[in-house]
Amino acid sequence: MTGTNLMIGLPEAGKTTFLAALWHVVDSNEVPGSLVLDKFHSDREYVQRLRDAWIKFLTVDRTLGGSISSVSMSLRERNGSESQELVFPDVSGEAFTGQLIERSMRRDFAELVQSAQGVLLFVAPRAIRPGLRIDEVDKVLGATKTDGQSSAEPAPVPWDASLVPTQVQLVELLQFIDTVSGGAEYRLGVVISAWDQAMRFKKNPAEWLASELPLLAQYLEANDIRHPHKVFGISAQGGSLEKDLASLTKHHKQSERIIVDCGDGKATNDITMPIRWISSP
pLDDT at 66: 47
For residues 209 and 235, the answer to whether their CB atoms sit within 8 Å is: no
- Strand partners of residue 267: 261
Give the total residue count for the chain. 281
pLDDT at 136: 63
d(CA 240, CA 2) in angstroms, rounded, equals 38
For residues 260 and 234, the answer to whether their CB atoms sit within 8 Å is: yes
- Alpha-helical segments (H) within the chain: 15-28, 44-55, 93-102, 107-114, 134-142, 166-180, 195-198, 205-212, 214-222, 245-248, 273-279
pLDDT at 131: 75
Distance of CA 229 to the CA centre of its chain: 14
pLDDT along the chain (281 residues), means of 10: 80 92 94 94 90 93 60 91 86 76 83 90 90 64 53 69 85 92 92 93 94 96 96 96 93 95 90 94 74
d(CA 69, CA 67) in angstroms, rounded, equals 6
Encode burial over 129-158: b for 16+ CB neighbours within 10 A, e otherwise. eeeeeeeeeeeeeeeeeeeeeeeeeeeeee
State which amino acid sits at residue 205.
Answer: P
Q: Any residues with CB less than 8 A from the CB of 186 and at least 6 apart, and which?
A: 116, 117, 118, 119, 227, 278
d(CA 27, CA 9) in angstroms, rounded, equals 24
pLDDT at 139: 61
The three-class DSSP label of residue 200 is helix
Domains identified in the chain and CATH numbers:
4-131+160-279 (3.40.50.300)
For residues 76 and 38, the answer to whether their CB atoms sit within 8 Å is: yes
pLDDT at 1: 42
pLDDT at 67: 53
pLDDT at 258: 97
Phi, psi at 5, each rounded to 5° = -115, 125
Structural Rg of the chain based on CA atoms: 20
